Structure 1
Amino acid sequence: RRNNWLCAVVCDGPSWGLAVADASTGEFRVTQRLGSDGLHQELLQLEAAEVLLPAGPEGADAKPGWCPAALLVTPVARTPFQAPEAEATLRQRYGLASLAGLGLVELPLALRAAGGLVAYLDGTTGAQVPLDLPTSWYAGDRLVLDAATRRNLE
């Protein structure tokens, strides 16, 4: 069985933060890196179903160049992706006084992506979707297989 990942991305120049969640399993992970090539590859590896992006200025919601062609992009309100709101969302969700123990303080873009993703899920379902505490991973910790190799392994 493969995960059905909902992703949220926050970019700041060449740096990016990524949060991924599977509402059916409760798995919730975050990462942060430098360079859009890594983001494109990570989204391909995850076989993400949808990516949430903070909405840009009017008419600026075109699919970013780092986004795989087949991936559905959903622009959403910017506010939940701002640092104070994202941190408050996560602290309230998990009943925490601080996010320091989760390692998110050192990953500010990933923290913003995670807060935006949780706010989106809760807002669209009308209830708190059960999610594990977010865990961080280093994007690139896995063996990368191209599409042809993956097909042949199946």
Structure 2
Amino acid sequence: DPPYGLTDGDTSSLREIGFNGLYRLTPDGMVTLIDGSHRRPNGVTLSPDGRTLYLALSDEKRPQVLAYSLGADGLPTGQRLFRDMGKELAAGEPGLPDGIKTAPDGTVFATGPGGVHVCAPDGRLLGKIRTGKAIANCCIGEDGKTLFLTSADRLAAVPLIARGG
């Protein structure tokens, strides 16, 4: 995770390691590094089948969501760009990729410039929940009926329409 909260950020003497990483906690309690190559790895979520891990990059130089294919052992077997939010950021829309959640039907809700990007499992943009401000996080609650959003000064609830059978 990024060095948020440290006064000098990346150059803080309080940092214990020299990179920001994406980690995995194994069932037996071991922490292993999955990827240490990103500047601002942040929000993570899994696909409903557990075969894809989505990673939000809270990086103004690379505002993206990546998708990692996972093998049976839970380790990555490949990586691809899932959603690039550079166009929205360049247009001045507030926010960066941050919180991200996956619905039971595979729909991905990724916070980013302009609000929440609602994406199909293949990365196609289905729509945006435009908020006019940076959204830090989101979660799905009330048995999948509501998407909750948080910002610096608000908590919002957005009703969801169930898809599929």
Task: Give the TM-score of the pair, scaled to structure 2.
Answer: 0.28
Larger Rg: 2
Higher strand share: 2
Higher helix share: 1
Higher RCO (C-alpha 8 Å, min separation 6): 1
Task: Give the TM-score of the pair, scaled to structure 1.
Answer: 0.30
